[in-house]
Structure 1
Amino acid sequence: MLVKVIIKRNVREGKEKHFFSLLKNLRFNAMHQKGYISGETLICAENTNRVVVISKWESLEDWSNWKIDIKRREIDARLGELQDNPTIYEPYVFSKYKAAAEQGFPPPLQKQRL
């Protein structure tokens, strides 16, 4: 089941350069984790200190394993020192996959025999 994780952060004024350097390091490490598919970083057009990271994972278990990884927690703690508020993590599953699985249908990306 594919998972997208929405991560919201508020960067403290004047800490942007260091923040984005650490964020890049975090992404680099995530790319080597089991189940990592992709990620993107969005900066709010109306408030450039608001940052959203969207990462895609093969499963909720893969994301959960990365979230508790010691290296990730170390970098995340350093990012937290550069933020105004705590980080918000919101994992989401694709509704069509969840609904199909609950009904016993094969995953939508799997070819079905007619």
Structure 2
Amino acid sequence: MIRVLIERHIAETLESAYEERARRVLQQAVGASGFISGETLIDSLDPNHRITLANWRSEADWDRWYHSEDRKDLMTELVPMMDRDEHITVLQQSAV
């Protein structure tokens, strides 16, 4: 299993529109092969900084979703609402 950390920063006043569209992205991911679970968190010091932590069966499953037409189509609605580029970190469990 891997974890994917997705960080986004929303432009001022677009929070509610972002929430609606981000929910659609997560709903589509839930149906993707290899998706296990996910949650979205709000930075307590910056309410426009959103962090999604998603668990995927494998990096190949994540890559397939990341490059899918479904995700690309959904992201065309989200990207204009962000004032910074999306930052993604793929995490693996430590052997320690």
TM-score (norm 2): 0.96
More RCO (CA 8 Å, sep 6+): 2
> Which residue matches 2:60?
61
Query: Taking every aligned residue pair, what percent have the same amino acid on both sides?
Result: 25
> Which residue matches 1:87?
86
What residue identity is the alignment partner of 2:55? K
- 4+ runs deviating over 4 angstroms: none
Aligned length: 96
User: In angstroms, what is the RMSD of aligned CA positions?
Assistant: 1.0
Residues 1:30 and 2:53 aligned together = no
Structure 2 distance, partners of 1:14, 1:36, is 31
The structure richer in strand per residue is 2
Could you report, residue by residue, the CA deviation over 1:24-55 in whole angstroms, capped at 9, with x for unpaired residues? Answer: 00010000011000000000111100000000
Could you report, residue by residue, the CA deviation over 1:39-98 in whole angstroms, capped at 9, with x for unpaired residues? Answer: 0000011110000000000000000000001111111121110000010011111113xx
Other structure's SS at 2:88 match: strand
**Residue ranges of structure 2 left out of the alignment (5+ in a row):** none
Point out the structure with max Rg over C-alpha: 1
> Which residue matches 1:109?
none
